[in-house]
Structure 1
Amino acid sequence: MNLDFQKDIDFGLSASKKTLPSKYFYDEIGDALFVEIMNMPEYYLTNAEFDIFKNQNQELIKALKLEKNNFFELVELGAGDGTKTKQLLKALDDQNYNFKYDPIDISENALIQLKASINKELPTVQIHPKQGDYFNVLSGLKASSHPIIVLFLGSNIGNLTDARAKDFIQKLDDNLKIGDRVLLGVDLIKPKSVVLPAYNDAQGITKRFNLNLLTRINKELDADFDVDTFEHKPEYDEEEGIARSFLVSTKDQNVSIKSLNKTFTFKKGEKIHMETSRKYNDLILNGILEGSSLKINDRLTDSQHLFADYILEKY
C-alpha cells in the first residue's frame, strides 16, 4: 500500500474544509482520462502550449540559450505523455544538440508509455525517466555538473496555491546552479466564458476524471464511496484569476475507509476541494518569483495569447 497516499487522503478528508490532492488523479485510468481532456475542444491549454512548441521551437531554443556543443540535461517535471515536449526534442535532435532528457512523473504508467514512444519516434534521444513526486526529485539536480534546463509545462504550477508556488520556486532555485534555466508554462488570466468550459466539458470527461479519484480510494484503501452521490462543480473568479474544482455530496452520507479504520461524514451540499488552477500575468508571476534568484528572461505566447511560456534564469 502507498503510505503517502493513505496519509494524504486521511489528512485531506479530516480537514474542516475537505480536500483531496490533485496529484493522485493520475493512476492508469486517470492518465487515460487526462489524455481525453487534453483533446477536448473546450480545453484550450494543451493546444495553446502545443502551438508554441510546434511553431516557435527555434525561438524556444534561442530563448533558452542552448548551444550545440555544450551538453545539457533537459529535466521535465510532470512529463505526462510528452506530446508538446517531443516537438522540442525533435528540433534539438534534428539539429544535433548534445543533451539527455530526464522526464519525471508521479505516474509510473505514464513514464513507461513515454519512454516507449520516445524510443520509437526519436530513437537517438537519450531518455532517463524518474518516477516520483517532483518535489522529492529536485534535490538531485544540483549534483549535476552540466547545465540544467527544467521544463515545467501545462500550467502545472497553477495547481499550487500562491504560497506553495513560492515555496516550489524557492526549492527549485535552491537546487539549480547559476546559469541554469527554467521553461515555465502558465495559463493567462482571461474571461470566465473561456476558462470555465475547460473545467466543465459537455462530454463530462472532467467529471469522470475527478470522480475517478474516489474510485481509486475505494480500490486502494478499501473505501465505500458511492461515486453516483457526488457531483462535479467548477468555479472561476475572473478578478482573482483562480479556477477551482469541487466534488459536492448530493446527500447526507457516511463513507468508511477501512485501511484508515475511519468513517467520514458528508453533509448534503458539502464540497471536497479537488484542484486549484491559478491563471497568471507578469505581475502575479513576479510576485511568485520574488525572493528567489530566478528572473524572467523572455516570454513566448501562442497565436491567440491564451497561454505563455516564460523563460527563467538563475542569477
Structure 2
Amino acid sequence: MKDTFKNDINIGLSANEKSLPSKYFYDKIGDALFVKIMNLPEYYLTKAEFDIFKNQTQDIIDTLKIAPDTYFELIELGAGDGTKTKELLKVLSHKNYAFEYLPIDISLNALEQLETRLSKELPKVKVTKKQGDYFEVLEGLKNSHHPKVVLFLGSNIGNLGDAEAKTFISNLSDALNKNDKVLLGIDLIKPEHIVLPAYNDKAGVTKAFNFNLLHRINSELEADFNLQQFSHTPEYSENTGIAKSFIVSDKNQNVTIGALNKTFQFKAGEKIHTETSRKYNDDVLGSILKNSDLSIVTKLLDSNKYFADYILEKR
C-alpha cells in the first residue's frame, strides 16, 4: 500500500498541473474529519440523501424489485460510516429479507467501525467487509452469480472526471448480470451560493480534511510540507456543474519528500488539485450511461430537490 501511495504522490506532484488523489484523504484522522464534514450546516449532500433513505425506504425497495425470499448481495462501493445505508438495512432486516451486505471501502478503519456498529445495532445482518479501491473490487463481482444490488452513494461518482466516470460505469455494467440493479446517488446542479459553502465551511473542517493529505505525506513519506504556507481554495462553475478543490502554494517554495529522494518546486499561487465534485442532471447522467448496458428505471429526490438517487438496471 505504501509503494502505491508513494508512486501516486510522485506522479501527481510531477505533473505540469499538480494533483493529489482524493482517495488518500481517508485514514483514521481523515475518516473522523469527513464525519464532521457530513454534519456541518453547509454540507447539504449527506442530509439530502439521508432524507431519501429515511423517508422513502420502502419506495427504494419496491423500485429495486427485491423479493423477500430471494437471496441477493447488497454491495456498497465506498461504504464509509454507512449512516444512510443503515436506514435501508433496518427495513430489510426487520422484514426478514434474505441478503448479505458487502461494504467496500479503501479505509480499513471505516470498515471495522461500520462492522462493529452493525453487529450491535443490526445483529441479524450478515456483513462481509472488503477493503480496497472499488475499481479493483469490481473485478471480483464477476465471480458471483447471485442477484446483486450495488449502492454507490454520496455522489462519489462526482469525484470522477466524465471520461473516468464512463469507464467506471462500463466496468460496473460488465461486472453485473442481467436485471441486477444499481442505486446511484448524485448531487444535482445548483446555484453557487448553495454548492460552494459545502466545500469551504466557515469552521475550516474541509480545509483540515484536505490538509490531512499533506500531513500523511509528511508522516508516511518523510516530507517537509509547511502547512502554514499553503491555502485551501475551492471553485465551482454553475455552467459546467463542476466543483474543484485545490491546495494553493502561498509563496515560491521547495518541498522535499524523503521517501522519493526528490524535491518539488512550487510557485506562488500554484495549485494542487485534490478533488473534483461533479454535479449532474438527467442529460449529464445520460451521456455517462450512453455506451453501457445500464438504463435508468427511475429517480428519487430529497424534499429540497438538491439530490437524486437514480435506480439503474442492467439490460
Coarse TM-score class (shorter-chain normalised): over 0.9
Q: Which residue of 1 aligns with 2:186?
A: 186
| C-alpha contact 2:145 2:177 (8 A) present in aligned 1 | no
Instruction: Render the CA deviation track for 1:30-78: whole Å, top value 9, x for unaligned.
Output: 0000000000000000000000000000000011110001000000000
Equivalence for 2:297: 297
Correspondence 1:62-101 to 2 at 5 A: 62-101=62-101
- Could you state the TM-score of these two structures normalised by the residue count of structure 1? 0.99
Quote the residue 1:259 is aligned against: 259
| Aligned partner letter, 1:245 | S
Shift of 1:142: 1.6
Aligned length: 315
Per-residue deviation at 1:131? 0.4
Q: Are the aligned partners of 2:181 and 2:312 in contact in 1 as well (CA < 8 Å)?
A: yes
Q: Secondary structure at the match of 2:40?
A: coil
Name the counterpart of 1:236: 236
Quote the Cα distance in structure 1 between the aligned partners of 2:210 and 2:310.
29
CA contact (8 A) 2:76 2:103 kept: yes
**Distance in 2, Cα, partners of 1:289 & 1:219:** 40
Write the distance in 2 (CA, Å) between the matches of 1:181 and 1:16.
40
Taking every aligned residue pair, what percent have the same amino acid on both sides?
A: 65
**How far 1:174 sits from its partner (Å)?**
1.0
CA contact (8 A) 2:104 2:130 kept: yes
- 3-state secondary structure, aligned to 1:143: coil
Counterpart amino acid of residue 200 in structure 1: N
Q: Is the 8 A contact 2:149 2:181 kept in 1?
A: yes
- Report what 2:227 is aligned to: 227
Q: What is the alpha-carbon distance in structure 1 between the residues aligned to residue 107 and residue 126 of structure 2?
A: 20
Rounded to whole Å, the distance in 1 between the matches of 2:136 and 2:234 is 30
Question: Could you tell me which amino acid in structure 2 is paired with residue 70 of structure 1?
Answer: T
The gaps in structure 1 that reach 5 residues or longer are: none
1:163 is matched with: 163
Q: Distance in 1 between matches of 2:266 and 2:66?
A: 53
Alignment partner, residue 19 of structure 1? 19
Which residue number in structure 2 is paired with residue 4 of structure 1? 4
- The match for 1:204 is 204
- Other-structure match for 1:53: 53
Match of 2:142, SS state, is: helix
Tell me which residue corresponds to 1:29. Answer: 29
Distance 1:232 1:214 in 2: 12
Q: CA RMSD in A?
A: 0.6
Counterpart position of 1:249? 249
TM-score normalised by length of structure 2 = 0.99
SS at the partner of 2:70? coil
- 8 Å CA contact 2:166–2:288 kept in 1: the answer is yes
Aligned-pair CA distance for 1:145:
2.0
Specify the alignment match of 1:310 in structure 2: 310
Letter in 2 for 1:273: H
Per-residue CA shift, 1:234-285, capped at 9, x if unaligned?
0000010000000000010000001111100000000000100000000000
Please list every run of at least 4 consecutive aligned residues from structure 1 whose deviation after the TM superposition is greater than 6 angstroms: none
2:92 and 2:285 mapped to 1: Cα distance? 28
Question: Amino acid of the residue matched to residue 15 of structure 2?
Answer: A
SS at 1:86 equivalent = helix
Alpha-carbon offset, residue 290 of structure 1 = 0.7
2:273 counterpart of 1:273: yes
What is the correspondence of 1:62-141 to structure 2 with a 5 Å cutoff? 62-141=62-141
Partners of 1:172 and 1:136 lie apart in 2 by 11
2:190 is paired with a residue of what secondary structure? coil
Alpha-carbon contact 2:115-2:127 (below 8 Å) kept: yes
* Letter aligned with residue 40 of structure 2: M
Tell me the distance in 1 between the aligned counterparts of 2:3 and 2:52: 39
Partner letter of residue 243 of structure 1?
A
Provide the C-alpha distance between the structure 2 equivalents of 1:142 and 1:69, rounded to a whole number of angstroms.
Answer: 23
Question: Which letter maps to 2:91?
Answer: A
